[in-house]
Structure 1
Amino acid sequence: MDNDQHYDHLKEELISSERIFDGKVIKVDHSRVKLPNGAEADREIVYHKGAVCLIAVQDHQMLFVRQYRVSTEEFLLEIPAGKIEEGEAPIETARKELREEVGGTAGELKKIQSFYVSPGFSNEYVHLYEAADVSFKPQELDDDEFLDIVKIDLDQLRVELESGAFKDAKTIVAVQHVLATHNL
Protein backbone atom coordinates (compact mmCIF):
# COMPACT_ATOMS: atom_id res chain seq x y z
CA MET A 1 0.00 0.00 0.00
CA ASP A 2 1.11 3.54 -0.65
CA ASN A 3 2.70 5.57 2.10
CA ASP A 4 0.26 7.80 4.05
CA GLN A 5 2.04 10.96 2.82
CA HIS A 6 0.30 10.60 -0.55
CA TYR A 7 -3.05 11.18 1.12
CA ASP A 8 -2.37 14.40 3.03
CA HIS A 9 -5.08 16.13 0.99
CA LEU A 10 -7.61 13.99 2.89
CA LYS A 11 -6.28 14.56 6.40
CA GLU A 12 -8.32 16.28 9.11
CA GLU A 13 -6.44 18.56 11.53
CA LEU A 14 -7.28 18.37 15.23
CA ILE A 15 -8.24 21.79 16.61
CA SER A 16 -9.37 20.82 20.11
CA SER A 17 -10.38 17.78 22.12
CA GLU A 18 -12.21 17.26 25.40
CA ARG A 19 -12.53 13.96 27.29
CA ILE A 20 -16.27 13.61 27.94
CA PHE A 21 -16.24 10.06 29.36
CA ASP A 22 -13.49 8.07 31.06
CA GLY A 23 -14.78 4.55 31.71
CA LYS A 24 -13.35 1.15 32.54
CA VAL A 25 -13.57 -0.18 28.98
CA ILE A 26 -13.76 2.92 26.79
CA LYS A 27 -12.89 6.60 26.80
CA VAL A 28 -14.80 9.14 24.71
CA ASP A 29 -13.51 12.45 23.38
CA HIS A 30 -15.46 15.25 21.73
CA SER A 31 -13.11 16.80 19.19
CA ARG A 32 -13.22 19.67 16.75
CA VAL A 33 -11.35 19.21 13.47
CA LYS A 34 -10.47 21.31 10.45
CA LEU A 35 -11.52 19.51 7.26
CA PRO A 36 -9.39 19.40 4.11
CA ASN A 37 -11.58 22.11 2.56
CA GLY A 38 -11.01 24.46 5.54
CA ALA A 39 -14.43 23.97 7.15
CA GLU A 40 -14.71 22.72 10.73
CA ALA A 41 -16.59 19.68 12.06
CA ASP A 42 -17.21 17.86 15.33
CA ARG A 43 -16.05 14.30 15.95
CA GLU A 44 -16.94 11.97 18.81
CA ILE A 45 -14.22 9.36 19.19
CA VAL A 46 -14.38 6.18 21.26
CA TYR A 47 -10.99 4.90 22.44
CA HIS A 48 -10.66 1.19 23.25
CA LYS A 49 -7.60 -0.89 24.22
CA GLY A 50 -8.37 -3.46 21.54
CA ALA A 51 -9.57 -7.03 21.55
CA VAL A 52 -8.91 -10.52 20.28
CA CYS A 53 -11.19 -13.12 18.75
CA LEU A 54 -10.62 -16.79 18.01
CA ILE A 55 -11.43 -19.42 15.43
CA ALA A 56 -11.56 -22.84 17.06
CA VAL A 57 -12.37 -25.87 14.91
CA GLN A 58 -12.42 -29.42 16.23
CA ASP A 59 -13.89 -32.61 14.81
CA HIS A 60 -15.25 -30.77 11.75
CA GLN A 61 -17.13 -28.32 14.00
CA MET A 62 -16.54 -24.62 14.68
CA LEU A 63 -17.01 -23.35 18.22
CA PHE A 64 -19.12 -20.32 19.02
CA VAL A 65 -20.54 -18.73 22.13
CA ARG A 66 -24.08 -17.47 22.54
CA GLN A 67 -24.55 -14.58 24.91
CA TYR A 68 -26.90 -11.72 25.58
CA ARG A 69 -25.64 -8.28 24.54
CA VAL A 70 -27.34 -5.36 26.25
CA SER A 71 -26.16 -2.96 23.51
CA THR A 72 -28.13 -4.84 20.84
CA GLU A 73 -30.80 -6.30 23.14
CA GLU A 74 -30.23 -9.66 21.47
CA PHE A 75 -28.70 -13.06 22.07
CA LEU A 76 -25.77 -13.13 19.66
CA LEU A 77 -23.87 -16.11 18.27
CA GLU A 78 -20.21 -15.09 18.24
CA ILE A 79 -16.73 -16.54 18.13
CA PRO A 80 -14.87 -16.47 21.47
CA ALA A 81 -13.43 -13.01 22.11
CA GLY A 82 -12.30 -10.58 24.76
CA LYS A 83 -10.69 -7.23 25.41
CA ILE A 84 -6.94 -6.81 25.78
CA GLU A 85 -5.93 -5.80 29.29
CA GLU A 86 -3.32 -3.11 29.98
CA GLY A 87 0.18 -4.49 29.29
CA GLU A 88 -1.13 -7.76 27.84
CA ALA A 89 0.05 -8.98 24.43
CA PRO A 90 -2.79 -9.89 22.05
CA ILE A 91 -1.65 -13.52 21.78
CA GLU A 92 -1.76 -13.86 25.58
CA THR A 93 -5.28 -12.43 25.61
CA ALA A 94 -6.20 -14.97 22.92
CA ARG A 95 -4.90 -17.86 25.04
CA LYS A 96 -6.76 -16.53 28.10
CA GLU A 97 -10.07 -15.99 26.28
CA LEU A 98 -9.97 -19.42 24.64
CA ARG A 99 -9.51 -21.00 28.08
CA GLU A 100 -12.13 -18.86 29.80
CA GLU A 101 -14.92 -18.92 27.23
CA VAL A 102 -14.73 -22.46 25.82
CA GLY A 103 -12.25 -24.21 28.14
CA GLY A 104 -9.75 -24.59 25.30
CA THR A 105 -5.98 -24.82 25.31
CA ALA A 106 -4.33 -24.45 21.91
CA GLY A 107 -1.16 -26.20 20.86
CA GLU A 108 -0.73 -23.39 18.35
CA LEU A 109 -2.28 -19.96 17.78
CA LYS A 110 -1.90 -18.43 14.34
CA LYS A 111 -2.68 -14.78 13.72
CA ILE A 112 -5.02 -14.48 10.74
CA GLN A 113 -5.87 -10.78 10.50
CA SER A 114 -6.21 -7.55 12.46
CA PHE A 115 -8.89 -4.98 11.69
CA TYR A 116 -10.76 -1.94 12.94
CA VAL A 117 -14.30 -2.72 14.05
CA SER A 118 -15.94 0.64 13.35
CA PRO A 119 -13.35 3.28 12.33
CA GLY A 120 -15.96 5.96 11.72
CA PHE A 121 -16.01 6.66 15.46
CA SER A 122 -13.75 4.17 17.27
CA ASN A 123 -10.11 3.09 17.31
CA GLU A 124 -10.97 -0.45 18.51
CA TYR A 125 -8.57 -2.84 16.78
CA VAL A 126 -9.31 -6.56 16.84
CA HIS A 127 -6.80 -9.39 16.34
CA LEU A 128 -8.20 -12.61 14.85
CA TYR A 129 -6.39 -15.84 15.75
CA GLU A 130 -6.93 -19.43 14.70
CA ALA A 131 -6.41 -22.08 17.36
CA ALA A 132 -4.95 -25.46 16.35
CA ASP A 133 -4.52 -28.69 18.31
CA VAL A 134 -7.12 -27.60 20.86
CA SER A 135 -7.82 -29.66 23.97
CA PHE A 136 -10.77 -28.89 26.20
CA LYS A 137 -11.52 -28.64 29.91
CA PRO A 138 -14.42 -26.87 31.65
CA GLN A 139 -14.96 -23.16 30.97
CA GLU A 140 -13.36 -20.60 33.30
CA LEU A 141 -15.83 -17.75 32.83
CA ASP A 142 -15.38 -14.37 34.49
CA ASP A 143 -17.87 -13.56 37.26
CA ASP A 144 -19.84 -11.28 34.91
CA GLU A 145 -19.87 -13.68 31.92
CA PHE A 146 -22.81 -15.91 31.09
CA LEU A 147 -22.63 -17.78 27.81
CA ASP A 148 -23.28 -21.12 26.17
CA ILE A 149 -20.88 -22.99 23.90
CA VAL A 150 -22.38 -23.75 20.49
CA LYS A 151 -20.81 -26.14 17.96
CA ILE A 152 -21.74 -25.89 14.30
CA ASP A 153 -20.72 -28.45 11.67
CA LEU A 154 -18.46 -26.89 9.05
CA ASP A 155 -20.82 -28.13 6.32
CA GLN A 156 -23.60 -26.04 7.94
CA LEU A 157 -21.61 -22.78 8.26
CA ARG A 158 -22.57 -21.31 4.88
CA VAL A 159 -26.27 -21.96 5.53
CA GLU A 160 -26.01 -20.27 8.94
CA LEU A 161 -24.08 -17.32 7.46
CA GLU A 162 -26.60 -16.80 4.66
CA SER A 163 -29.53 -17.10 7.06
CA GLY A 164 -28.22 -14.17 9.12
CA ALA A 165 -27.40 -16.27 12.20
CA PHE A 166 -24.17 -14.28 12.65
CA LYS A 167 -24.67 -10.55 13.16
CA ASP A 168 -21.32 -9.22 14.35
CA ALA A 169 -18.43 -8.38 12.05
CA LYS A 170 -15.68 -10.41 13.77
CA THR A 171 -17.75 -13.58 13.57
CA ILE A 172 -18.67 -13.00 9.93
CA VAL A 173 -14.98 -12.42 9.05
CA ALA A 174 -14.01 -15.61 10.92
CA VAL A 175 -16.73 -17.74 9.31
CA GLN A 176 -15.79 -16.51 5.84
CA HIS A 177 -12.14 -17.36 6.59
CA VAL A 178 -13.09 -20.89 7.65
CA LEU A 179 -15.30 -21.36 4.58
CA ALA A 180 -12.46 -20.25 2.30
CA THR A 181 -9.67 -22.27 3.97
CA HIS A 182 -11.79 -25.43 4.17
CA ASN A 183 -13.10 -25.02 0.59
CA LEU A 184 -16.72 -25.07 1.75
Structure 2
Amino acid sequence: MATSTKRPAAPKSKSVSKVTSKGKAKAVPAKSKSPAQKSPAKKKPSATKAALISSKLSYKGNVFSVYTDTIIEPGSDTPHTRDVIRHNGSIVVLAVDESVNPKDPDLILIRQYRHAAGQFLLELPAGRIEPNEAPLAAAKREMIEETGFRAKRWTHLTKYYASPGFLGESMQIYLARDIKQGTANPEEDEHIEIVRTPLSKALALIAADKIHDGKTLIGVQFYAAAHREGRL
Protein backbone atom coordinates (compact mmCIF):
# COMPACT_ATOMS: atom_id res chain seq x y z
CA MET A 1 0.00 0.00 0.00
CA ALA A 2 1.46 3.29 -1.07
CA THR A 3 2.08 5.82 1.62
CA SER A 4 2.04 9.56 1.19
CA THR A 5 4.79 11.73 2.55
CA LYS A 6 3.50 14.73 4.39
CA ARG A 7 5.45 17.96 4.03
CA PRO A 8 6.04 19.74 7.31
CA ALA A 9 3.83 22.74 7.73
CA ALA A 10 5.52 26.08 7.27
CA PRO A 11 6.31 27.68 10.60
CA LYS A 12 3.82 30.22 11.65
CA SER A 13 5.07 33.72 11.85
CA LYS A 14 5.17 35.07 15.34
CA SER A 15 2.99 37.99 16.15
CA VAL A 16 3.16 40.70 18.71
CA SER A 17 0.39 42.61 20.35
CA LYS A 18 -0.16 46.22 19.53
CA VAL A 19 -2.52 48.41 21.44
CA THR A 20 -4.82 50.40 19.17
CA SER A 21 -5.96 53.93 19.82
CA LYS A 22 -9.19 52.48 21.26
CA GLY A 23 -7.30 50.49 23.87
CA LYS A 24 -7.82 47.06 22.23
CA ALA A 25 -4.97 44.63 21.60
CA LYS A 26 -4.39 43.79 17.94
CA ALA A 27 -2.13 41.04 16.64
CA VAL A 28 0.59 42.37 14.35
CA PRO A 29 2.99 40.06 12.44
CA ALA A 30 6.53 40.36 13.73
CA LYS A 31 9.11 41.77 11.35
CA SER A 32 11.44 39.21 9.89
CA LYS A 33 15.13 39.64 10.59
CA SER A 34 17.29 40.76 7.68
CA PRO A 35 20.28 38.60 6.80
CA ALA A 36 23.50 39.45 8.64
CA GLN A 37 25.42 42.33 7.13
CA LYS A 38 28.84 41.44 5.77
CA SER A 39 31.70 43.30 7.42
CA PRO A 40 33.58 45.57 5.01
CA ALA A 41 36.66 44.05 3.44
CA LYS A 42 39.94 45.07 5.06
CA LYS A 43 41.71 47.70 3.05
CA LYS A 44 44.94 46.57 1.47
CA PRO A 45 47.84 48.68 0.24
CA SER A 46 48.92 48.58 -3.37
CA ALA A 47 52.49 47.75 -4.35
CA THR A 48 53.38 51.46 -4.35
CA LYS A 49 50.90 53.23 -2.07
CA ALA A 50 49.60 52.81 1.46
CA ALA A 51 45.97 52.05 2.23
CA LEU A 52 44.43 54.91 4.22
CA ILE A 53 42.26 53.56 7.05
CA SER A 54 41.43 56.88 8.71
CA SER A 55 42.61 60.49 8.70
CA LYS A 56 42.06 63.13 11.37
CA LEU A 57 42.87 66.84 11.07
CA SER A 58 44.91 67.63 14.18
CA TYR A 59 45.98 71.19 13.34
CA LYS A 60 45.21 73.68 10.59
CA GLY A 61 47.44 76.71 10.02
CA ASN A 62 47.93 79.34 7.36
CA VAL A 63 50.86 77.55 5.71
CA PHE A 64 50.35 73.87 6.56
CA SER A 65 48.05 71.39 8.26
CA VAL A 66 48.84 68.38 10.45
CA TYR A 67 46.94 65.13 9.98
CA THR A 68 47.01 61.96 12.08
CA ASP A 69 46.62 59.10 9.61
CA THR A 70 46.13 55.39 10.24
CA ILE A 71 47.56 53.45 7.31
CA ILE A 72 48.74 50.07 6.12
CA GLU A 73 51.95 50.52 4.18
CA PRO A 74 53.07 48.45 1.17
CA GLY A 75 54.60 45.16 2.33
CA SER A 76 52.77 45.24 5.66
CA ASP A 77 49.48 43.88 7.05
CA THR A 78 49.56 45.91 10.26
CA PRO A 79 48.01 49.39 10.64
CA HIS A 80 50.31 52.16 11.86
CA THR A 81 49.68 55.76 12.89
CA ARG A 82 51.59 58.56 11.19
CA ASP A 83 51.49 62.28 11.95
CA VAL A 84 51.93 64.07 8.62
CA ILE A 85 52.41 67.76 7.82
CA ARG A 86 50.52 68.56 4.61
CA HIS A 87 51.83 71.46 2.55
CA ASN A 88 50.94 72.72 -0.92
CA GLY A 89 54.56 72.46 -2.10
CA SER A 90 57.29 75.03 -2.73
CA ILE A 91 59.56 76.26 -5.48
CA VAL A 92 63.23 77.25 -5.33
CA VAL A 93 64.84 79.70 -7.77
CA LEU A 94 68.49 79.38 -8.75
CA ALA A 95 69.02 82.60 -10.72
CA VAL A 96 72.40 82.95 -12.46
CA ASP A 97 74.06 85.89 -14.19
CA GLU A 98 76.39 84.60 -16.91
CA SER A 99 76.91 87.98 -18.60
CA VAL A 100 80.28 88.82 -17.00
CA ASN A 101 81.94 85.42 -16.51
CA PRO A 102 80.10 82.45 -18.04
CA LYS A 103 82.65 80.03 -16.57
CA ASP A 104 82.00 81.28 -13.03
CA PRO A 105 78.55 82.92 -13.12
CA ASP A 106 77.07 84.90 -10.25
CA LEU A 107 74.28 83.27 -8.24
CA ILE A 108 71.54 85.40 -6.71
CA LEU A 109 71.42 84.36 -3.06
CA ILE A 110 69.55 85.99 -0.20
CA ARG A 111 70.30 86.34 3.49
CA GLN A 112 67.44 86.39 5.97
CA TYR A 113 66.72 85.54 9.60
CA ARG A 114 65.01 82.19 10.20
CA HIS A 115 63.29 81.94 13.57
CA ALA A 116 63.05 78.11 13.52
CA ALA A 117 66.84 77.90 13.02
CA GLY A 118 67.53 80.83 15.32
CA GLN A 119 70.02 82.44 12.94
CA PHE A 120 70.58 84.21 9.64
CA LEU A 121 70.89 81.83 6.69
CA LEU A 122 72.30 82.25 3.21
CA GLU A 123 69.74 80.75 0.82
CA LEU A 124 68.34 80.49 -2.66
CA PRO A 125 65.06 82.42 -3.03
CA ALA A 126 62.05 80.18 -2.48
CA GLY A 127 58.37 80.25 -1.63
CA ARG A 128 55.12 78.37 -1.38
CA ILE A 129 53.04 77.37 -4.38
CA GLU A 130 49.59 78.91 -3.95
CA PRO A 131 46.47 76.73 -4.48
CA ASN A 132 45.80 76.16 -8.21
CA GLU A 133 49.07 77.92 -9.11
CA ALA A 134 51.47 76.33 -11.62
CA PRO A 135 54.96 75.72 -10.17
CA LEU A 136 56.73 77.78 -12.85
CA ALA A 137 54.34 80.69 -12.29
CA ALA A 138 55.10 80.47 -8.58
CA ALA A 139 58.85 80.53 -9.31
CA LYS A 140 58.55 83.68 -11.43
CA ARG A 141 56.35 85.37 -8.82
CA GLU A 142 58.61 84.53 -5.90
CA MET A 143 61.77 85.69 -7.67
CA ILE A 144 60.22 89.07 -8.39
CA GLU A 145 58.83 89.42 -4.86
CA GLU A 146 62.02 88.49 -3.03
CA THR A 147 64.74 89.83 -5.38
CA GLY A 148 63.15 91.98 -8.09
CA PHE A 149 64.89 89.91 -10.79
CA ARG A 150 63.14 88.62 -13.90
CA ALA A 151 64.42 85.96 -16.29
CA LYS A 152 63.92 85.12 -19.96
CA ARG A 153 64.95 81.45 -19.76
CA TRP A 154 63.68 78.92 -17.24
CA THR A 155 64.72 75.28 -16.75
CA HIS A 156 63.33 72.77 -14.27
CA LEU A 157 66.31 71.20 -12.47
CA THR A 158 64.89 68.75 -9.95
CA LYS A 159 62.17 67.94 -7.42
CA TYR A 160 62.80 66.56 -3.94
CA TYR A 161 61.26 66.05 -0.49
CA ALA A 162 63.05 67.80 2.36
CA SER A 163 61.96 65.45 5.16
CA PRO A 164 59.56 62.77 3.88
CA GLY A 165 59.33 60.98 7.22
CA PHE A 166 56.68 63.44 8.36
CA LEU A 167 56.61 66.35 5.90
CA GLY A 168 54.60 66.05 2.68
CA GLU A 169 56.07 69.22 1.14
CA SER A 170 57.85 68.77 -2.19
CA MET A 171 60.32 71.38 -3.45
CA GLN A 172 60.99 72.06 -7.13
CA ILE A 173 64.16 73.87 -8.17
CA TYR A 174 64.13 76.08 -11.27
CA LEU A 175 67.15 77.54 -13.03
CA ALA A 176 66.59 81.15 -14.16
CA ARG A 177 68.92 82.64 -16.82
CA ASP A 178 69.16 85.85 -18.84
CA ILE A 179 68.15 87.75 -15.74
CA LYS A 180 67.40 91.44 -15.38
CA GLN A 181 67.31 93.48 -12.17
CA GLY A 182 64.03 95.08 -11.11
CA THR A 183 62.30 96.21 -7.92
CA ALA A 184 61.67 93.65 -5.19
CA ASN A 185 58.30 93.45 -3.46
CA PRO A 186 58.79 91.31 -0.32
CA GLU A 187 56.00 90.48 2.08
CA GLU A 188 55.61 92.57 5.24
CA ASP A 189 57.41 90.06 7.46
CA GLU A 190 60.29 89.42 5.02
CA HIS A 191 63.57 91.29 5.57
CA ILE A 192 65.83 90.14 2.78
CA GLU A 193 69.36 91.05 1.77
CA ILE A 194 70.41 90.14 -1.79
CA VAL A 195 73.87 88.59 -2.01
CA ARG A 196 75.42 88.12 -5.47
CA THR A 197 77.85 85.24 -5.12
CA PRO A 198 80.09 83.65 -7.78
CA LEU A 199 79.49 79.92 -8.20
CA SER A 200 83.06 79.15 -7.10
CA LYS A 201 82.57 81.11 -3.86
CA ALA A 202 79.22 79.43 -3.14
CA LEU A 203 80.90 76.03 -3.52
CA ALA A 204 83.72 77.17 -1.22
CA LEU A 205 81.19 78.26 1.41
CA ILE A 206 79.51 74.85 1.18
CA ALA A 207 82.86 73.08 1.54
CA ALA A 208 83.65 75.26 4.58
CA ASP A 209 80.32 74.30 6.22
CA LYS A 210 79.02 77.86 6.08
CA ILE A 211 75.80 77.20 4.14
CA HIS A 212 73.28 75.20 6.14
CA ASP A 213 70.08 75.58 4.14
CA GLY A 214 69.08 72.29 2.51
CA LYS A 215 67.53 73.62 -0.68
CA THR A 216 70.63 75.77 -1.29
CA LEU A 217 73.01 72.86 -0.74
CA ILE A 218 71.05 70.72 -3.21
CA GLY A 219 70.42 73.45 -5.80
CA VAL A 220 73.93 74.87 -5.97
CA GLN A 221 75.66 71.49 -6.17
CA PHE A 222 73.13 70.16 -8.68
CA TYR A 223 73.70 73.19 -10.87
CA ALA A 224 77.50 73.10 -10.43
CA ALA A 225 77.67 69.49 -11.64
CA ALA A 226 75.44 70.19 -14.67
CA HIS A 227 77.41 73.36 -15.49
CA ARG A 228 80.74 71.54 -15.23
CA GLU A 229 79.57 68.71 -17.47
CA GLY A 230 77.98 71.03 -20.03
CA ARG A 231 74.46 69.65 -19.54
CA LEU A 232 72.80 73.07 -19.44
Q: Is 2:162 the counterpart of 1:117? A: yes
Equivalent position of 2:172 in the other structure: 127
- For CA contacts below 8 A with separation 6 or more, give which structure has more relative contact order: 1
**TM-score, with structure 1 as normaliser:** 0.88
Deviations 1:61-83 (A, max 9, x none): 11111111111112111101010
Distance 1:89 1:37 in 2: 36
Q: SS in structure 2 opposite 1:182? A: helix
- Are residue 150 (structure 1) and residue 195 (structure 2) matched? yes
The root-mean-square deviation of aligned C-alpha atoms, in Å, is: 1.8
How far apart in 2 are the matches of 1:34 and 1:181?
39
What pairs up with 1:45-124 in 2 under 5 angstroms? 45-58=84-97, 59=100, 60-124=105-169
Shift of 1:165: 2.0
Larger radius of gyration: 2
1:137 CA drift (Å): 1.5
Residue equivalent to 1:42: 81
Distance 1:160 1:47, change over 3 A: same
Q: Does 1:16 align with 2:51?
A: no
Contact 1:52 1:126 in 2 (8 A): yes
Encode CA deviations 1:98-120: one digit per residue, 9 max, x unaligned.
Answer: 11111101011111111222111
- Does 2:64 correspond to 1:26? yes
Question: How many pairs align?
Answer: 177
Secondary structure at 1:175 match in 2: helix
Three-state SS of the structure 1 residue aligned to 2:205 is: helix
In 1, Cα distance between equivalents of 2:169 and 2:193: 25
Aligned-partner residue type, residue 86 of structure 2: Y
CA shift in 2, pair 1:14/1:152, >3 Å: same
- Identity over aligned pairs, percent: 32
TM-score (norm: length of structure 2): 0.71
The unaligned stretches of length 5 or more in structure 1 are 1-6
What's 2:184 paired with?
A: 139
Q: Which amino acid aligns with 2:67?
A: D
1:11 to partner: Cα distance: 5.2
The answer on whether the counterparts of 1:57 and 1:132 sit within 8 Å (CA) in structure 2 is: yes
Q: Please name the residue that 1:4 is paired with.
A: none
Give the C-alpha shift of residue 179 in structure 1. Answer: 1.6
More helix by share: 1
Unaligned stretches of 5+ in structure 2?
1-45
**SS at 2:175 equivalent:** strand
